[in-house]
């Protein structure tokens, strides 16, 4: 919504006639965020701003009562909330009606507003309303930040944080909606902790880590698992390799002579298949350029990779996000290096994900990517081959008819099916390729 948009009619407790110098800050009350609303309103007033608060439903939440007591402007929730404008639209309309030059929309209850950054972002934007910038939870200018996504890892997270802290300037744990004491144990061990209210998945936790690393301008972000499988001493090796080569991403590789990882045979076979398909989907065919361990969660990212990944909404929320990150790196021309690492699979709280289900998910993701980005390879070439085979079987049918006088119906039907499927596949590949070229 731009600054010239029409004002909407919304219920206001008061309307100020004077033009405001600073933008308003819009907050949304819920049944659970009363304490957060109160603390944010106090910070908003201390920084010279005014808060406008509303709720999504017609209920007098505790947070709304706090807002009134603290002098914030409160918009009465709509009685018919199913057809009313959403909370952001109502807050925007109220800010316009009261003469504010813009609105900082803030709903992330785990973060505090960075007022200076938010104000500058609004001034440089042509929009009337923007998402408020928030303060980094990690100290700015951190050289080496270690990020640990964690879900129900209370039994191991403290020991992992304590060991990792030796090799990092700061340790960030993202507790992805755990049901146990993961967050408390991580804080007790000295980590900075961001908590998700609900379990969003491994990829969702990674995206929070990328966002926080970008906000604090970390030079190197190293991701490792919370279950203790990774050798923390290899953090230095990943960072050293990144500094020596200027690689955007350095992967801790479990394959090769120097990697002393005792991997179960079924897992090694499955990962080999995934690695092969991943490299084919990336268009990497030479042994020198291939990614040997596409599923390693032990990775280091430089500042450029951190910033671009933090801004990429296409990274998935689930375990297949590791592939999404590699596709992101490939599309941006990023340099990827690998260093040998050792993984201990004999840990108490190892991965609970079924390797079969995980493998199927990864393969389907790879197939979809190839189909989207390389339709000629995925559909066009097999389609042409199918057409040629159809012609070959048709010739064979006709030849048999000339020799025996009996028409081989089964063989002719098979030839027809091959030809039809091939034509459909080839044309679909051509159309998808044309759409991808047009999109680019």
In a domain, 14, yes or no: no
The pLDDT value recorded for residue 15 is 39
φ, ψ for residue 7 (rounded to 5)? -75, 150
Residue 192 has pLDDT above 70, yes or no: yes
Same-domain check for residues 306 and 378: no
Assign 317 a pLDDT band (cuts: 50, 70, 90): confident
Residues 40-72 have pLDDT tens digits of 999 999 999 999 999 877 677 888 999 999 999
The pLDDT value recorded for residue 83 is 64
Last residue of a domain, one of 349, 371, 393: 371
Residue 356 has pLDDT above 90, yes or no: no
Residues 329-345 have pLDDT tens digits of 988 999 999 999 888 76
In a domain, 197, yes or no: yes
Which range of residues forms the domain containing residue 408?
374-439
How far is it, in rounded angstroms, from Cα 44 to Cα 90? 19
Residue 256 has pLDDT above 80, yes or no: no
Same-domain check for residues 316 and 218: yes
Same-domain check for residues 273 and 236: yes
Same-domain check for residues 221 and 299: yes
How far is it, in rounded angstroms, from Cα 119 to Cα 157? 38
Last residue of a domain, one of 131, 158, 191: 131
In a domain, 294, yes or no: yes
Assign 157 a pLDDT band (cuts: 50, 70, 90): very high
On the CB side of 292, CA atoms within 13 Å amount to 16
How far is it, in rounded angstroms, from Cα 92 to Cα 227? 45
The pLDDT value recorded for residue 397 is 87
How far is it, in rounded angstroms, from Cα 193 to Cα 36? 17
Residue 2: strand, helix, or coil: strand
* Mean pLDDT of the 138-153 span: 87
* Nearest in space to 327 (alpha carbons), one of 338, 316, 340: 316
Assign 368 a pLDDT band (cuts: 50, 70, 90): low
Q: Cα separations (Å) of 227 from 111, 143, 347? A: 27, 24, 7
On the CB side of 152, CA atoms within 13 Å amount to 10
Residue 231 has pLDDT above 70, yes or no: yes
Same-domain check for residues 71 and 99: yes
How far is it, in rounded angstroms, from Cα 53 to Cα 225? 39
Name which of 192-196, 284-288, 403-407 the model is least confident about: 284-288
Residue 26 has pLDDT above 90, yes or no: yes
The pLDDT value recorded for residue 279 is 77
Q: In which order are the strands placed within the sheet that holds 144-150?
A: 192-196, 170-176, 144-150, 220-223, 299-302, 249-253, 336-340
Average confidence score pLDDT of the chain:
82
Same-domain check for residues 99 and 60: yes
Same-domain check for residues 381 and 343: no
* CATH code for position 357: 3.90.550.10
Number of domains in the chain: 3
In a domain, 3, yes or no: no
The pLDDT value recorded for residue 3 is 37
């Amino acid at each position: 919504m731009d600054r010239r948009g029409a004002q909407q009619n919304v219920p206001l407790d008061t309307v100020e006639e004077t033009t405001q110098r600073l933008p308003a800050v819009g907050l949304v009350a819920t049944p659970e965020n009363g304490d957060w609303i109160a603390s944010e309103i106090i910070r908003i007033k201390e920084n010279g701003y005014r808060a406008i608060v509303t709720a999504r439903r017609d209920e007098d939440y505790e947070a709304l009562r706090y807002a009134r007591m603290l002098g914030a402007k409160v918009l009465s929730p709509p009685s018919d909330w199913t057809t009313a404008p959403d909370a952001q639209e109502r807050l925007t309309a109220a800010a316009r009606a009261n003469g504010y030059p813009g609105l900082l929309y803030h709903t992330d209850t785990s973060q505090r507003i960075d007022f200076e950054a938010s104000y500058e972002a609004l001034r440089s934007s042509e929009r009337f309303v923007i998402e408020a910038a928030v303060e980094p939870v990690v100290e700015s200018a951190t050289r080496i930040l270690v990020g640990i996504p964690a879900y129900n890892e209370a039994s191991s997270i403290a020991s992992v944080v304590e060991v990792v802290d030796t090799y990092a300037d700061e340790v960030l744990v993202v507790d992805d909606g755990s049901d146990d004491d993961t967050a408390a144990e991580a804080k007790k061990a000295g980590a900075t902790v961001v908590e998700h209210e609900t379990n969003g998945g491994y990829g969702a936790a990674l995206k929070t880590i990328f966002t926080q690393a970008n906000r604090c301008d970390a030079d190197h972000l190293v991701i490792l698992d919370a279950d203790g499988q990774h050798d923390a001493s290899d953090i230095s090796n990943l960072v050293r390799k990144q500094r020596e080569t200027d690689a955007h991403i350095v992967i801790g590789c479990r394959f090769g002579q120097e990697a002393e990882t005792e991997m179960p045979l079924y897992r090694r076979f499955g990962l080999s298949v995934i690695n092969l398909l991943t490299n084919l989907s990336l268009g990497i065919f030479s042994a020198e350029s291939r990614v040997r361990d596409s599923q390693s969660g032990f990775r280091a990212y430089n500042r450029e990779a951190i910033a671009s990944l933090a801004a990429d909404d296409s990274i998935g929320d689930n375990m297949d996000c590791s592939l999404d990150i590699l596709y992101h790196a490939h599309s941006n021309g990023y340099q990827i290096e690998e260093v040998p690492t050792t993984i201990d699979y004999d840990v108490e709280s190892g991965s609970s994900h079924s390797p079969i289900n995980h493998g199927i998910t990864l393969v389907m993701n790879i197939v979809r990517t190839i189909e989207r980005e390389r339709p000629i390879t995925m559909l066009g070439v097999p389609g042409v081959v199918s057409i040629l085979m159809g012609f070959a079987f048709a010739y064979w049918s006709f030849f048999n008819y000339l020799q025996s006088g009996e028409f081989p119906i089964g063989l002719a039907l098979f030839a027809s099916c091959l030809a039809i499927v091939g034509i459909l596949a080839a044309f679909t590949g051509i159309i998808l390729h044309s759409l991808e070229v047009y999109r680019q």
